[in-house]
Structure 1
Amino acid sequence: MSRTRGRRAQTLVAYAGKPIQLLLQYVRRRPVSHTLVLLAIIAAVGCALGSQFAIKNLIDALPAGRDHPATVVSAFVTIVVLLFADNLFWRVAGWISVRTFVAVTGDVRRQLFGYATGHSPTYFSAIRPGTVASRVSATANAVFAIENTVAWNALPPLLSVFGAIGMLGFVSPWMAISLLLVSVCMATLLFWLASHGSSKHKRFASDAASVDGELVDVISNMATVRMFVATQRESARLDAFLNGEMTSREASLRFLEKLRLLHAVATLLLSSALLGWVLWLWTLGRATTGDVVLVSSLGFAILHGTRDLAVALVDVTQHVARLAEAAQALLVPRDMEEPVSAPALEIRDANIDFENITFAYPGRRPVLDHFSLHIDAGQRVGLVGPSGAGKTTVLALLQRSFDPPRTSGAVTISGQRLCDVSLASVHDAIAVVPQDVSLFNRTLLDNLRYGRPDATMADVLRACEQANCRELIDSLPEGLDTIVGERGTRLSGGQRQRIAIARAFLKDAPILLLDEATSALDSESEAAIQLALDRLLAGRTVVAIAHRLSTLRNFDRIVVIQHGRLVDDGTPAELSKRAGIYRDVLLRQERRTATSAGVFE
């Protein structure tokens, strides 16, 4: 299954600048249902045109109808049958399309979501989450709108126009040929003009996505907005985005109206000429009364059909432009696409190696400079150093959030380069307890089971006891069924931290990463969480970042990093006696602790 998804992802990016091909690859996934819709529409339009010809036959049969009533009855029955079949085929097409077109939007959202989630953190740091979500929905909506517009607004008038032209050949072949040439020329001109408006439609789509992203950004930071009394400021900022969107939308719609006006004038002249031509043939005795009625009705059918077709085509052009804009923004190549056949990581022993790594974020100086570190399985290693030294980057590379260039070293677990194995298997082997715990706006149970969805209730409760959060769960009004709020805001920082530790217990991964897991907590909360962490560390390979060195006192090793290099390495006891960054920080923190204790005595 992962290989199939990988191939689809690699194929999908090729459609970034090809909206029509992107649409067709979703249509090809459901060939039978799309074909049935097409055939039903063709049959419905054929019946509608056939009824026009049947009316001609009825009118021509009327003068002798009293003497030969069978001819009139036959023409009447034919009209009734064709009208019934016309309505039946439309309903069949509508019934099938409801399921088919909706299913396609599901395919689009599913695949684009899967592709977007495969991007590296660099992609998400450079784009607003609201913009990503908006464009996924915009792409699906554009595909749905195109399918609906083509099926109900473009295809029927197109078939009607060409069918009507074909039927006019029975009255006058030259009339049919002339009308065909004029219609093709007019459609080509309109389509050419419509293509020149795609930049306006793309601009509108881009501005609309920006507004959605701005709304999500402000709403998700509403607490900060209120804290700084910035509601009016944000409203004014949003007004600027809205004005830009409204201007671009107005330009897009005005362009469409100009095309419709041009088409209206052209079709009026064409229909008048057509009616005058058949009347001239009638005066020469080369056309019957039924022919005049047929040409008149077909002329109006062509008039309305080409008008509807032109409107539909410019609407399709607008939707295609929106589809192209959204797809181009989403289907950018991934920074670190893994091979389709990448094997899973095999944990023989959970040892870790950073082998001479030099790494820089895009457009920045190197964060790690020829950095090498070996961690034995089961060792507990603390990373210490000033801000910007590269500690967080070490954890990010270990989680394979980024890949170092192949010529600039490698990260390995159990002797296997992380860039050569599947990303999912790397994440399966690692549990993380971050400083800023982010929870989903779901139940507490859903959040606890997130790393192990098949965990039993007994497993969950055991993990909660080990993480010292069983009392917390019992105190909540709905226990494990309590909704924790957006990013877990209904829980305190200490409560979220305990949930993160319980989640790590439940995942039971051989490698554990701690990223400032207690730095934001008060002393009482830190002490309670430290007990839970001590249980969690047992029997695992642990890599931890901590500004409070007291949390690392029971670790096997302390690694000191400065300017992206490993500058010291030893046990906490050894480093506390050796001049260097670790001892300087340790002494400052001890003095600060002593001062605080004196203040509260």
Structure 2
Amino acid sequence: MRSARSMDLPPASGGPAEPRTDWLTLQRLAPYLWQYRLRIALALVCLVAAKVSNVSVPLLLKQLVDALDLKPGDPRALMVVPAGLLAAYAGLRLMTTVFTELRELVFAKATHGAARQIALETFRHLHDLSLRFHLERQTGGMTRDIERGTRALQSLVSYSLFTIVPTLVELVLVLALLGGKFDLGFVWITLAALIAYGIFTIGVTEWRTQFRRQMNELDSKAHTRAIDALLNYETVKYFNNEDFEARRYDQGLDAYRRAQIKSQATLSILNTGQQAIIAASLAAMLWRATQGVVDGRMTLGDLVMVNALLLQLYVPLNFLGVLYREVKQSLADLDKMFNLLEREREVADAPGARELQVRGATVRFENVDFGYHPQRRILHGVSFEIPAGKTVAVVGASGSGKSTLARLLYRFYDVDAGAGRITIDGQDLRELTQASLRRTIGIVPQDTVLFNDSIGYNIGYGRPGSSQEEIEAAARAAHIHDFIAAQPQGYGTTVGERGLKLSGGEKQRVAIARTLLKNPPILIFDEATSALDSANERAIQAELASAAQGKTALVIAHRLSTIVDAHAIVVLDAGRVIECGTHAELLALDGRYAHMWRLQQSSLDGSPKEGLDPPGAAQGQPVAAAS
């Protein structure tokens, strides 16, 4: 269906007015993980067990070193060291790995399950959003946000549960061990180093965040440009603008490259500062431990243990800057995806909305006022009825509001309260569930967009689960079966992105077959044969008339010759009904419709081309041609 006044649409509402704090983002994430709380508890038990085993390794290493402090020839050397300490040392190393792998295995289902649930919920929510949102969206950037948001959840959980929390647990164990076994001097040195390390890391990372954010924005922008150019491949070719699009894409890539260089330079500053703090603290701790050995307060095993403990503790701290940045970025990416989830549904089912009960499918438009923008109304008090089982055609100049009627009937938009109503068998559409309404309506749009799949899939999309025989019967009715059968892959022939491998007429016939397969009680034909040649148009018009037999049909007409047999014809002008009647009645009235009829008939003799607006249309003057 042609976009109706899409340039006049106000921005779609939704999303928080201000950025969400990290804490609120974590609160928003919590319900998705809470359902896996037992697995999280078990993973934490494995985490603590792994860290206890890890911290016990330096303790055992101390015993091993001290056990080596034997006089030459002492028989205990052969008995104590190989049989006891070495076996225990190897066992603790193995248990550290075992508990770590158990933790990841136990928690994998929670991580991937929560990511799957959020991605699916976002996908469903995007389909629930209004047409207004999808007319304004940037597909490349939006898909990038969803991809990053899903990946961010896994990264956030992985970094927090598998790195940050284990490091904190190990820190507590190490500080308790140093303070209990030696003196508080080791604890104060360690704490001072950690505080300095944390302040430096967080400060520099916060400063770096602006470059990281800029890098992501430029990445999304370049990706959006590339996707948009590829989706509009034919337009690019029509205007010979391959080099222009390549330059635009390269500009985006170059800006992204410069942001990457800035990000890398600041990362080098961060890493150098972190290593300086760690080196200073290690030197202070080893100096104190060495002094203790010299004074006789500590053994060589104690010195080795202190060194091993600090190395084990500082290895994960080396990645604290990366972890902090990634956690912050993951929270920002999650926030973007949650913002998508929180976009308000402009058209939502009312509380207690009921299923549509079809008792004949009489459609009524009652004093409908509507505009895509509050200050620009499209329809003004439109009223007409499509009796059950009858066909009513709507004609009028471009911009008169014809396609808007179809969008309102499908509930892509809702009529405001007090601005009239649309009913089916007396039931206000706003009080019905959208699913039951759309099951009842089938449409053949003017601009057919197909999935990048097979022809059989696209026809079968009208009623998923249909048999091959039913798909072929619909194709025959739409006069496209012979064309499909002539293809090497038959119904398995792929149609390409948006159906670009098919001609306009072929795409339109696939759309007709798809709607015929759905077989709903209400049909909308929006210029259903506009892309067909005259011979095929006449053949398919007969099929459409047969398909509409006994059904309620709304026909948006371009060529008036296709709707002469309609039970009623409604003439719109600037969003108002100016004439209504049968073809013969309207000709006898000798008004706007009669003028349009004469204009189109004269085109057969070489006069103004059929379907074009007459002079004056561009200046907003009253026109007398069908859109």
TM-score by length of 1: 0.90
Please identify, of 161-170 and 210-219, the stretch whose mean Cα deviation from structure 2 is larger: 161-170
For 2:456 and 2:588, how far apart are their aligned partners in 1?
A: 46
Q: Hey, what does 1:8 align to over in structure 2?
A: none
Aligned to 1:377: 388
Q: Which residue of 1 aligns with 2:127?
A: 117
Instruction: Tell me the percent identity.
Output: 28
Distance 1:145 1:541, change over 3 A: same
The residue aligned with 1:24 is 30
Among candidates 396, 408, 427, match of residue 397 of structure 1: 408
* 1:281-430 equivalence runs, <5 A: 281-328=292-339, 331-339=342-350, 341-362=352-373, 365-430=376-441
User: Following the alignment from structure 2 to structure 1, what is the Cα–Cα distance between the partners of residues 267 and 428?
Assistant: 56
**Distance apart, 1:127 and its partner CA:** 1.5
| Greater Cα offset, 107-116 or 241-250 | 241-250
For residue 56 of structure 1, report the CA deviation from its aligned partner.
1.0
Determine the C-alpha separation between the residues in 2 that align with 1:323 and 1:91.
27
CA distance in 2, matches of 1:281, 1:377: 98
Aligned length: 587
CA deviation profile, 1:305-355 (whole Å, cap 9, x unmatched): 322233322232233333334543564323223346432222122111222
**Aligned pair in 2 of structure 1 residues 418, 189: CA closer, same or farther (>3 Å)?**
farther
Distance 2:337 2:364 in 1: 41
Q: Does 1:584 align with 2:590?
A: no
What is residue 4 of structure 1 aligned with on the other side? Answer: none
* Counterpart-to-counterpart distance in 1, 2:255 and 2:375: 33
Alpha-carbon separation, structure 2, partners of 1:203 and 1:358: 44
Counterpart contact for 1:161–1:306, Cα < 8 Å: no
- For the pair 1:207 / 2:213, whether they are aligned, the reply is no
CA–CA distance in structure 2, aligned partners of residues 326 and 248 of structure 1: 23
| Counterpart-to-counterpart distance in 2, 1:211 and 1:62 | 63
Q: CA deviation at 1:284?
A: 3.1
Post-superposition shift, 1:388?
0.8
- Paired amino acid for 1:30: Y
Q: Quick check: 2:111–2:157 contact (8 Å CA) kept in 1?
A: yes
Give the C-alpha shift of residue 228 in structure 1: 1.3
Whether the aligned pair in 2 keeps the contact of 1:441 and 1:487 (CA below 8 Å) is yes
Measured on the aligned residues, the alpha-carbon RMSD in Å equals: 2.7
In the alignment, residue 507 of structure 2 is paired with which amino acid? Answer: R
Give the counterpart letter for 1:430 in structure 2. I
Q: Once structures 1 and 2 are overlaid, which stretch shifts more, 204-213 or 88-97?
A: 88-97
Q: Give the deviation of 1:513 after TM superposition.
A: 0.4
Q: 1:126 to 1:417 in 2, by over 3 A?
A: same
In the other structure, the counterpart of 1:521 is 532
CA displacement 1:103-139 (0-9 Å, x = unmatched): 4433332221111111111111111222222222121
Structure 1 counterpart of 2:67: 61
3-state SS of paired residue (1:365): coil
Shift of 1:538: 0.6
| 1:509 pairs with 2:520 | yes
Whether the 8 Å CA contact 1:19–1:324 is kept in 2: the answer is yes
Listed as ranges, the matches of 1:43-82 within 5 Å are 43-63=49-69, 66=74, 68=76, 72=81, 73-82=83-92
Say whether the 8 Å CA contact 1:459–1:506 is kept in structure 2: yes
Alignment match of 2:150 (pick from 118, 140, 143): 140
CA distance in 1, matches of 2:313, 2:606: 91
Q: Deviations over 1:374-398 (max 9, x none)?
A: 2221121111111111111111000
Q: Which moved more, 1:126-135 or 1:543-552?
A: 126-135
Q: Partners in 2 of 1:340 and 1:186 — Cα distance?
A: 54
Gaps of 5+ in 1: 1-10
Aligned AA (1:286): R
User: 2:499, 2:427 → 1: CA distance?
Assistant: 36
What are the Cα deviations for residues 3-43 of structure 1, in whole angstroms up to 9, with x where unaligned? xxxxxxxx998998344334434333433444444433332
Equivalences for 1:160-239 in 2 at 5 Å?
160-169=170-179, 170-180=181-191, 182-184=193-195, 186-188=197-199, 190-239=201-250
Structure 2 counterpart of 1:160, which letter?
A: E
Distance 2:581 2:401 in 1: 18
Write out per-residue CA displacement over residues 44-85 of structure 1, whole angstroms, 9 at most, x where no aligned residue: 222121111111122223335946566544333321221121
Give 1:487's aligned residue: 498
The one-letter code of the counterpart of 1:416 is Q
Cα offset, 1:480, TM superposition: 2.0
Q: Name the structure 2 match of 1:84.
A: 94
Match of 2:623 in 1: none
CA contact (8 A) 2:60 2:89 kept: yes
Give the letter for the 1:500 counterpart. A
Tell me, in whole angstroms, the C-alpha distance in 2 between the residues paired with 1:422 and 1:71.
78
Q: 2-side partners of 1:147 and 1:270: how far apart?
A: 30
Q: Distance in 2 between matches of 1:34 and 1:192?
A: 31
Does the CA contact (< 8 Å) of 1:205 and 1:325 recur in 2?
no
Look up the SS of the partner of 2:495 in the other structure.
Answer: coil
Contact 2:189 2:285 in 1 (8 A): no
The 5 Å alignment of 1:260-299 reads 260-299=271-310
Contact 1:168 1:176 in 2 (8 A): yes
Q: Which moved more, 1:352-361 or 1:113-122?
A: 352-361
Identify which of 556, 560, 563 aligns with 1:549: 560
In the TM superposition, residue 431 of structure 1 has moved relative to its aligned partner by: 0.2
Aligned equivalent of 2:7: none
Structure with a larger share of its residues in helix: 1
- SS state of the match for residue 358, structure 1? strand
Change (3 A) 1:537 1:231: same
1:385-415 CA distances to partner (integer Å, 9 max, x unpaired)? 1111111111100000011222322222222
> What displacement does 1:555 show?
0.2
Question: Structure 1 stretch 280-289 or stretch 214-223: which is displaced more?
Answer: 280-289
**Could you tell me how far apart the structure 2 residues matched to 1:245 and 1:327 are?**
25
Farther-moved stretch of structure 1 (555-564 vs 403-412): 403-412
Contact 2:33 2:110 in 1 (8 A): no
Cα separation, 2, equivalents of 1:320 and 1:415: 49
CA distance in 2, matches of 1:592, 1:107: 58
Q: Which amino acid aligns with 1:109?
A: A
The residue type paired with residue 121 of structure 2 is Q
After alignment, is 309-318 or 575-584 more displaced? Answer: 309-318
TM-score of the two chains, using structure 2 as the length reference: 0.87
C-alpha contact 1:198 1:321 (8 A) present in aligned 2: no
Alignment of 1:458 with 2:469, yes or no, is yes
- Residue by residue over 1:256-305, the C-alpha shift from the partner in whole angstroms, topping out at 9 and shown as x without a partner, is 43333322222221121111222233333322222111112222223323
**Cα separation, 2, equivalents of 1:420 and 1:249:** 52
Does 2:117 align with 1:107?
A: yes
